[in-house]
Chain A
Amino acid sequence: MKIIVVVLGLLLSSLLQAAPSRVIALSWEATEYLLTLGVTPIAVADRADYQQWVVEPALPGKVLDAGSRLEPNLERIYALKPDLIIINPALAGMQANLEKIAPTLLLDAFRAEHDNASAAERLQRQLAVRLDRLAQHEAFVRQQGLELAKLRQIIGQRFGAKPPAVCLIRFASPVSFWVYGENSLPEAAMHALGLRNACPQQRTAWGTRLRKLPDLAALNEGLLLHIAPFPRQTELERSRLWQALPVVRERRVYAMPPVWTNGGMYSISRLARQISAQLQNRSPD
């Protein structure tokens, strides 16, 4: 009799403490945290765009679309009976409504007041605790540390004490581009590799800024990496001004494959991998 009570009690408590398993992510950074922790969400917001713009970590085919990131579909979310919903500040106004459906976790990853890279680690850890995946999280952090150290070592072997500085941009039009400066994940990846940002920018919430093409004239040293695809590439390349830029004439421009810059730790690893891959194309001066 006593044993049955104890077993029942144990069962009950384990049921009560069971980690959420039906999770819906309404932001892309949250989607990335989940997939990194090995949790497959039942639905994510803007699923098709995620597959086109974020690409990795890859989304399993059975994950459903929860609507747009600005206005996810509440009725579908309800019908999927989630036990955890993750949002970012864009949906902060809807938190009260979402709480009616399931416990809702607000992860505020991008702010000017904090360091986005360490916030990504903190938030992913917070989520891991909530989902009972702390072991996976710590394994990932350990493995990332090893990988970054290795990449850094390879760069050190190749370039010695003075590796080239890197400037990372995404073109908005043939005359303007977003540049990644202080507090951006690309800059965090550069620092992890022991590289310097060749076009430093003032700190902002996302670390990005819209700038004009002639601003690239000041880039006298280092590499220019631009994130592909840019649909109006030909318009850019036929431009005399572009051809005259020192960085273009000296062939220091490289196109990076599509990569997401507003994710979390996984994105930092991926950015670091791609940046160091681009550096391999460059012979030491």
Chain B
Amino acid sequence: MNSADIEKPALKLGYMPLSDCLPLLIAQEKGFFSQEGLTVELQQEVSWSNIRDKVIVGHLDGAHMLAPMLFATSLGLGGIKKPLITAFSLGLNGNAFTISNQLRSALTDVNSNQLAHANTMKLLIEQRKTAGLPRLVFATVYPYSCHNLQLRYWLASAHIDPDKDIDLVILPPSQMVDHLKLAHIDGFFAGAPWNSVAILQGHGHCLLTGMEIWKNAPEKVLGVTLEWAEKNPNTHSALIRALHEACQWLELHAEEALPLLEQHLSLNSPLINRNCLIPAITGKNIFTQQSKQSKAPSLLVFNHSMANFPWLSHGQLICAQMKRWHWLPDDVDNEQLVASCYRPDIYRQALTHLEMPNDNFHSTHLAIL
């Protein structure tokens, strides 16, 4: 495309300091944005709420965003109502459930053979109830997040009611490790690198990863307002191409990206160092206290398995789960909502040189439903 067709060449994009923001950092560092005629300023944010609000009022052109936030904001749940869309997934998976060492030994006492089975957690919760002990407290990062939905899905698989049998709180990712250390929480479900940080510091144990709950799970997306996308279609396409280049590059050179990631993530978090970034980025191992345990190939997927395609089936999975917990009003038509927020048509138009799936649905995602 001729760069003269770009409606808005200077862009401001927001991101949260997490491992899966890497496509944005790499697109900047490796010049993929400028190749597409874009001059991008990346802005680190401190909360998902800020990301949403700044995108809504136009202080940011687009952002690294939680997929469920698209639906919540498009319906105005708990805040400003503004149609948001995505035409690009920044990757798959990346989350994990890390529990305190105390909870781990309690689970071991219940059933050491099936430590990571939700039924073991259920038994423990019942024992605690009988003994008059307080409810377990688990934390996730944002109400409308795949983290929250995955943890609830797992708990509910053993008939644990996440709204009654435990306390589910929201904490910023950067505070998870401290709260775990101080025993304010018994476990947290968060994205990379916070699980590795807790484990390497000896404060926790990774019970299971998100992909053991949802295989090839949706996670972060490039979120923009519908209004912005309609006003800037060529810019949007250029942005998608640049990010796709970055994701492809990451698929082959993820380890080379570690210094860049460390530089950006350690800006405001003294807890972050190179070692805790390695597991999710290289997929080689996730650490337990005792040993390096090979638990996580594809812990974080940047490009393979059609990771960047905005699957309607991802949207359907998220909306079905949001409805399950009565977050979406009952009269909302899921299919319509998904089609308004997930836009594979724009992805297909932006990346005509790529081989595309025939269908906008993937059976793996629908199988989770």
A binds B: no
